[in-house]
Structure 1
Amino acid sequence: MPVRTARPIALSAADRVRLKKMAYGHKTEHRLRVRAQVVLHAARGRSNARITRETGLHLDTVRRWRGRFAETGLPGLKDRQRCGRPASFTPLQATEVKALACRLPAESGVPLSRWSCPELAREAAEQGIAPFVSASTVRRWLAQDALKPWQHRSWIFITDPDFRTKAARVLDLYARTWQGERLGDDEYVISADEKTSIQARCRCHPTLAPGKARAMRVNHTYRRGGALAYLAAYDVHEARVLGRTEERTGIGPFMNLVTQVMSQEPYASAKRVFWIVDNGSSHRGKKAADRLTRAFPNAVMVHTPVHASWLNQIEIYFAVVQRKVVTPNDFTDLTEVRDRLRAFEDCYNATAQPFQWKFTTSDLDDLLARLDRRTADHPEESSVVPAA
């Protein structure tokens, strides 16, 4: 039997540089490093048998990579495309699972409020879509179309017939405009509301501070120390908060907040101070507006639309208070709650900047136009807005 002759290898300067990087690079895959070393040995005129002894590879392996490089160059050192294992599921099965995820569980008779991947996989098997499918496979299919059926968002119907007019007034004030005219330097915009039922929960065991590889630990068991209401007024353009605590909410506590704000400068001598409030019982309707004006003639009450507290910037501040002051709730008594809220006000006012409010009347008109188009396309649906 004739002896097979080793194929000669001639390298260009560029190929030699790239092969050396592959053969001795620290981040090169082992298989590519070995193949590059075989080619470099072959380029020095060494036989396949000698390369086998020096590299410890099998003779057929040396012959294979030497031959592939001789035929196609550097691309020949890569793995060839393989057909791989046949697909376990058809595109139709994947589509049917996605369609199932886009239906409410109740439509399939499943006693769930929302789908999860394991439950979708189980339901797909019960409906005969596939004999068996894993939760990870379902998760991969849903990720292709960014489907997350386990999440939900709330929305509400627009019930206020003057929604656009009321919302536009609030948005104009945020832009320092009232009835088409710019506000003066001696006119201010206040956003006010109440945060109810802030409890004092005294934990039965001390809270543990964070440690190495350990989050802060708060004991679940607590003793109730009562609750209070936190009323706050936020100067929209000055980023200043004035607040107070009361035992409960109501007309009296709200007017106490108004008096606290309007009795100090610059609001006491201001030309006008606009108070943006929602439709809570403490400041609802024309009676509340008249009561405010009688007490302070330079104060003007402006109501947000019904179910539109998301237009009131004080809610953003209350979210900050909830996240940074109240949660996790661990207070000895209500006095500690009051002291913490008062201290946080001072800290906040020292560094606060006005909120970057970007929702304008133009955005409002675009939103209402989209809702009108949706209502026209689906007459059975009413206009809706997202709940904040």
Structure 2
Amino acid sequence: MPTASTRSTPKYKGGHPRTFTLPERREIKKIAKSKPAEHGLPFSTWRLVKLAAFLVAQGVVDDISHEGLRILLREEGVSFQRVKTWKSSNDHDYAPKKTRVEHLYAIADGEVVPEEGEPEVIVYMVEFGPLNLQPHLGRQWAEHGGKHKDPDREPRPRRRATYTRPHGVQHLFAAYDLGKDQLYGHIKKNENRSKFLEFCRYPRSLHPVGKHIAIVCDNYSPHLTRKRCRRVADWAEANNVEIAYNPTNFSWLNRIEAQFTALRYFALDGTDHAGHKEQGSMIRHYISWRNKHAAQDERLREVVNRANVA
């Protein structure tokens, strides 16, 4: 039996992969979701080899394997997906707007501690609609139909074919508190700057006056602080609010869209409301139900997650 002096020292191999810090993981995710052309590279998309090499070259990480990068991105909810049709942004302030919105999202997700003077509450606001009165396609339980069905069986339910109803349209002004995961909505007859500011007062009223909040919204004319109409800017300055804008044609950065997908799925698909009062009541009841069951309802989470990935 070999003595302690003659026993060879074990040579360890492998081991647990390196754990990256939260700032490193955040930066890796941010670069992976960007386009190589934004960094001056002549590629249309990232491959793992090029992405890993770029991360090392930029000093984001000292070293990372291709498989380790794949696992890290999967843990961060990022996957390699087929590109769908979209419009590229032609906004002259594309980079600073996108960077600011992503930074606000990081604050809401707890990935970044807000510095002094930065907003503590992040709210996304947008208009959903127009809400018109027409039959919406959907699904429901019904007996099997077909060529050889039982003649005594009731016919499959059908929706009316006409879309003409002289009731006009309405609009849903909605706000999504990213930190609390709460959805708010008010239905208005008109969609203009006055109604936008009227609704802005609601999420502002949910927090103390001294708390700085940020409202992220689309680059839409009623939201803008134009020189000829500074009503939005004046209200924001007087109420300790920052207005942050998405770049033009960049709605995929809008996190409230996934919540609207769930609203359509649960409250509007398969309906044919006779009036706006009935439709509005359905939407308000859904928002109340959603805020109570967002964390527990598995189907709701599945619909929202699928919409976020799409």
Letter matched to residue 279 of structure 1: N
1:55 corresponds in structure 2 to none
Letter matched to residue 198 of structure 1: L
Letter matched to residue 272 of structure 2: D
The counterpart of 2:204, out of the listed 251, 262, 278, is: 262
Alignment of 1:326-341 (within 5 A): 326-341=268-283
Aligned 8 A contact 2:139 2:270 in 1: no
Bigger shift: residues 223-232 or 235-244: 223-232
SS at match of 1:195: strand
Deviation at 1:305, TM superposition (A): 0.8
Whether 2:155 is the aligned partner of 1:212: answer no
Decide whether aligned partners of structure 1 residues 198 and 251 sit closer, same or farther in structure 2, where only a CA change above 3 A counts: same
1:197 corresponds in structure 2 to 130
Unaligned segments of structure 2, at least 5 residues:
1-81, 146-155, 296-300
2:162 corresponds in structure 1 to 221
1:278 corresponds in structure 2 to 218
SS at match of 2:200: helix
Q: Give distance in 2, aligned partners of 1:170 and 1:350.
A: 27
Deviation at 1:236, TM superposition (A): 1.0
- The count of residues paired between Structure 1 and Structure 2 equals 202
1:20 corresponds in structure 2 to none
Deviation at 1:256, TM superposition (A): 1.4
Higher RCO (Cα < 8 Å, 6 or more apart): 2
Alignment of 1:221-260 (within 5 A): 221-224=162-165, 225-260=167-202
Deviation at 1:323, TM superposition (A): 2.7
Aligned 8 A contact 1:275 1:299 in 2: yes
Decide whether aligned partners of structure 1 residues 155 and 211 sit closer, same or farther in structure 2, where only a CA change above 3 A counts: closer
Letter matched to residue 233 of structure 2: D
Task: Give structure 1 regions of 4+ aligned residues with deviation exceeding 3 angstroms.
Answer: 214-217, 285-289, 353-357
Whether 2:236 is the aligned partner of 1:293: answer yes
Whether 2:88 is the aligned partner of 1:157: answer yes
Q: Give distance in 2, aligned partners of 1:192 and 1:320.
A: 17
Alignment of 1:10-25 (within 5 A): none
Q: Give distance in 2, aligned partners of 1:234 and 1:257.
A: 12
Q: Give distance in 1, aligned partners of 2:242 and 2:139.
A: 48
1:62-90 deviation per Cα after TM superposition (whole angstroms, max 9, x unaligned): xxxxxxxxxxxxxxxxxxxxxxxxxxxxx
Aligned 8 A contact 1:202 1:332 in 2: no
Decide whether aligned partners of structure 1 residues 252 and 318 sit closer, same or farther in structure 2, where only a CA change above 3 A counts: same
Letter matched to residue 277 of structure 1: C
The counterpart of 1:350, out of the listed 286, 292, 296, is: 292
Deviation at 1:319, TM superposition (A): 2.1
% identity of equivalent residues: 22
2:24 corresponds in structure 1 to none
The counterpart of 2:265, out of the listed 323, 340, 344, is: 323
Deviation at 1:223, TM superposition (A): 4.5
1:218-261 deviation per Cα after TM superposition (whole angstroms, max 9, x unaligned): 23235413310001000012110111000010111111111122
Aligned 8 A contact 2:171 2:189 in 1: yes
Deviation at 1:326, TM superposition (A): 2.3
SS at match of 1:201: coil
1:160-219 deviation per Cα after TM superposition (whole angstroms, max 9, x unaligned): 2321221111111111179x962389821001100131112379xxx9963222575323
Letter matched to residue 293 of structure 1: A
Deviation at 1:157, TM superposition (A): 3.1
Whether 2:245 is the aligned partner of 1:312: answer no
1:308-363 deviation per Cα after TM superposition (whole angstroms, max 9, x unaligned): 12211122222222232222341010101110111011011011249769x9xxxx
2:7 corresponds in structure 1 to none
Aligned 8 A contact 1:191 1:277 in 2: yes
1:79-138 deviation per Cα after TM superposition (whole angstroms, max 9, x unaligned): xxxxxxxxxxxxxxxxxxxxxxxxxxxxxxxxxxxxxxxxxxxxxxxxxxxxxxxxxxxx
Aligned 8 A contact 1:189 1:235 in 2: yes
Aligned 8 A contact 1:241 1:349 in 2: yes
Aligned 8 A contact 2:91 2:247 in 1: yes
Letter matched to residue 114 of structure 2: L
Deviation at 1:307, TM superposition (A): 1.1
Decide whether aligned partners of structure 1 residues 181 and 201 sit closer, same or farther in structure 2, where only a CA change above 3 A counts: closer
The counterpart of 2:97, out of the listed 143, 163, 166, is: 166
Considering only CA atoms, is the larger Rg found in Structure 1 or Structure 2? 1
Letter matched to residue 211 of structure 1: A
Whether 2:130 is the aligned partner of 1:187: answer no
Decide whether aligned partners of structure 1 residues 322 and 236 sit closer, same or farther in structure 2, where only a CA change above 3 A counts: same
Q: Give distance in 2, aligned partners of 1:152 and 1:163.
A: 20
Query: Structure 1 length normalisation: TM-score?
Result: 0.46
Q: Give distance in 1, aligned partners of 2:108 and 2:163.
A: 49
Letter matched to residue 276 of structure 1: V
Letter matched to residue 94 of structure 2: F
**Structure number having the greater helix percentage:** 1
